[in-house]
Amino acid sequence: MQKPQLPATLPAIEDEETLYSWCASVHALASGTNSGDTSHALFGNGHSSRQHDIPRGLRALQGHLSCFSDNCIELLRIHTVAACYLPFMAPSDLELLATEISAGVKPHWRRRLLSASRSLPIKHPLRFCSACCAEDTAAAGRPFWHTRHQFPATWVCTRHSEALWIFSGHPRRWLLPSPGQKGSARLSDLNTDVAATAAAVGQAISKLRIINTDALRSCTLNRLRDIGVIHSLGGARHDRLASWFCNSAMGRMCAADTSGTSALADGNWVPAHLWRKKRDHPARWIALWSALQWRSADEACSALMEACSDAAPTDKGQYLLFEPQEHPTRAPDHVYAAFEICESYEAVMAHLHVSRGDVVRWLESDPELRRIWKQGIHSRRLHVTEHRLRKSMIDWLASKPNLEGFLESNEADLHWLARNAPSAHQALVGNLRRRGAVARTLF
């Protein structure tokens, strides 16, 4: 068999270009047409041409990319989806990873790095932005796959705000992005604001060296409480939490993303992710953080930076056992708005699609909401009662006045007024007596 030939000069790898993309460019310049041959020439095996997320023959590739010859972790960080995964690894795990790659041991490291899970598989379909393709062709002479487009839950290009084209198939050969790519389509249920947030969150994570997941978890719980999804840091109804995620814009996009994050769509993983401390799939953090109802991608990213910084509170797991005395928490604005127009628990429950327990907890944890609600109900009832009594009085004056009869037929309203607004009651009764006196002299 003829030995496959690599081009005499290999192309430089571009900033943000994936390893798969660089290999595809090498293949385009190589003498052979079979990508398996080029894969053999680059990696010493024929399989790596199909691994567009992270090629397992990374050690061989380091030899061709001299700037990374002694730093496989940086190669992974800049040129593969591992950029989103590495910040979640402990320093000792990173060292082990580097050792395993350098030693060329069997690629278990690849599964470990990608947190591959059979029960909750996260796929990385190839994605590209057509505006980036045009720019890259003009600037670099060729289109290429961008690392940041391949992150989990990324459906838009943050540079051009364009929906990404998603190649859902599993390529058997190296491909370069092209708008006419067979099998590529855009996400059907795209909420552009949330998609922009998710893409920005993935990129923000990829820029971090290490993430303190305890602090991140703690900040996520606080945020969920602030937006009214949970009421206590120690736990919540699992079905309610899952249903919140499932019905969020983020959950709906995951459901539509059949070639990527659809395994996350039902939200059933959220409670375990929050309260069962173990290493979680980084894609879940991207999906969950992006679903936390941020006003903008910037707000989501700066809150994420704060959560991942050392300044964030660390709980070390203790509040799960000893829940702190929770300070009064302001209920979310939409809850305030509901209490403004609803007069009963049932009305609030129906309006917000929540349980009686939720209503009780909001009122218990926010004294201000309780005070405003009670005040609102009181002033509305006072207004209605006074209006009814005034109307009744006019009717009474128009007919043959009999004060005792009037007092009797309006007993309930007058009683309520006497108890809840004594001064208004006195004024009304005084007025009635005067009118009654006048009426008696007339008849």
**Would you count residue 134 as binding Zn ion (CB under 5 A)?**
no
Select from 66-74, 153-161, 274-282, 297-305 the region that touches Zn ion (CB under 5 A): 153-161
Q: Of 198 and 312, which CB lies nearer to Zn ion in the complex structure?
A: 198
Q: Of 51 and 130, which CB lies nearer to Zn ion in the complex structure?
A: 130
**Would you count residue 132 as binding Zn ion (CB under 5 A)?**
yes
Separation CA 204–CA 195 (nearest Å): 14
Task: Find residue 128's DSSP bridge partners.
Answer: 165
Nearest to 150 by CA among 210, 93, 88, 85: 85
Q: Of 15 and 343, which CB lies nearer to Zn ion in the complex structure?
A: 15
Q: Of 145 and 339, which CB lies nearer to Zn ion in the complex structure?
A: 145
Among 61, 82, 84, 157, interactor with Zn ion by CB under 5 A: 157
Among 59, 64, 112, 160, interactor with Zn ion by CB under 5 A: 160
Q: Of 129 and 414, which CB lies nearer to Zn ion in the complex structure?
A: 129
Least distance CB 195 / Zn ion (angstroms): 13
Select from 158-166, 194-202, 320-328, 334-342 the region that touches Zn ion (CB under 5 A): 158-166
Crossing angle of helices 297-308 and 192-207, rounded to 10°? 30
- Residue 127 DSSP SS3: strand
Select from 28-36, 109-117, 129-137, 344-352 the region that touches Zn ion (CB under 5 A): 129-137
Q: Of 160 and 240, which CB lies nearer to Zn ion in the complex structure?
A: 160
Q: Of 132 and 219, which CB lies nearer to Zn ion in the complex structure?
A: 132
**Would you count residue 129 as binding Zn ion (CB under 5 A)?**
yes
The first and second tokens of residue 213, run together, are: 């997941």
Q: Are 80 and 18 in contact (CB under 8 A)?
A: yes
Select from 127-135, 180-188, 279-287, 305-313 the region that touches Zn ion (CB under 5 A): 127-135
The first and second tokens of residue 328, run together, are: 């009064």
Q: Of 48 and 203, which CB lies nearer to Zn ion in the complex structure?
A: 203
Residue 318 region by backbone torsions, left for phi larger than 0, else alpha for psi between -120 and 50, else beta:
alpha
**Would you count residue 216 as binding Zn ion (CB under 5 A)?**
no
Separation CA 221–CA 126 (nearest Å): 33
**Would you count residue 26 as binding Zn ion (CB under 5 A)?**
no
Q: Of 129 and 265, which CB lies nearer to Zn ion in the complex structure?
A: 129
Select from 108-116, 130-138, 262-270, 434-442 the region that touches Zn ion (CB under 5 A): 130-138
**Would you count residue 166 as binding Zn ion (CB under 5 A)?**
no
Across 223-256, b (16+ Cβ under 10 Å) vs e yields bbbebbbbbebeebeeebbbbbbbebbbbbbbeb
Least distance CB 24 / Zn ion (angstroms): 18
**Residues binding Zn ion: number (CB under 5 A):** 6
Select from 75-83, 93-101, 149-157, 408-416 the region that touches Zn ion (CB under 5 A): 149-157
Least distance CB 241 / Zn ion (angstroms): 34
**Would you count residue 159 as binding Zn ion (CB under 5 A)?**
yes
Least distance CB 50 / Zn ion (angstroms): 25
The first and second tokens of residue 196, run together, are: 């922009």
Q: Are 176 and 161 in contact (CB under 8 A)?
A: no
Q: Are 156 and 196 in contact (CB under 8 A)?
A: yes
Separation CA 177–CA 162 (nearest Å): 15
Least distance CB 305 / Zn ion (angstroms): 23
The first and second tokens of residue 235, run together, are: 């736990």
Least distance CB 352 / Zn ion (angstroms): 39
Q: Of 117 and 161, which CB lies nearer to Zn ion in the complex structure?
A: 161
Q: For residue 387, which phi and psi values (nearest 5 degrees)?
A: -60, -45
Q: C-alpha distances in angstroms, 293 versus 119, 288, 355, 366?
A: 28, 10, 21, 21
Among 131, 185, 407, 438, interactor with Zn ion by CB under 5 A: 131
Least distance CB 180 / Zn ion (angstroms): 17
What residues contact residue 250 under an 8 Å CB cut-off, 6+ apart?
153, 191, 194, 198, 287, 290, 291
Select from 82-90, 156-164, 236-244, 330-338 the region that touches Zn ion (CB under 5 A): 156-164
Separation CA 127–CA 190 (nearest Å): 15
Q: For residue 17, which phi and psi values (nearest 5 degrees)?
A: -85, 140
Q: Name the residues that contact Zn ion, by CB under 5 A.
A: 129, 131-132, 157, 159-160
